Amino acid sequence: MREYELSEEQLQRLLDAAEATPYIVVGGTEPPSAQDNADAVWQSIAREMGFVWDTVEPAPGKGQRFIVAEEAQQALAGQAERPGPEEKA
């Protein structure tokens, strides 16, 4: 795990995405939820900064702009080292 610092703009994108938005269902299709929106922003920030988006945790003892997450390159290396699924006889 590595520590990262979000920019003010990145933090604001996350905060904006997490806000609930009132809507009217038209044609039976609901818009993405606040969680879906926040996940999409995390994925975007992860691509920008080079970490695995779903491994993010708050950095202990730091402000809300600081996170720890698994580096994307480290995750890819770990996947290559893992044995594949065993074949069943």
Note the pLDDT tens digit of each residue in 24-58.
888 888 888 899 999 999 999 999 999 999 999 99
pLDDT at 65 over 70: yes
Is residue 86 assigned to a domain?
Answer: no
| Domain count across the chain | 1
Return the pLDDT at 26.
84
For residue 66, the enclosing domain spans 2-19+30-81
Is residue 60 assigned to a domain?
Answer: yes
Return the pLDDT at 87.
46
- pLDDT over 70, % of the chain: 82
Distances (CA, A) of 3 to 9, 50, 65: 18, 11, 11
pLDDT at 69 over 90: yes
The CA-based angle 3-77-55, given to 5 degrees, is 40
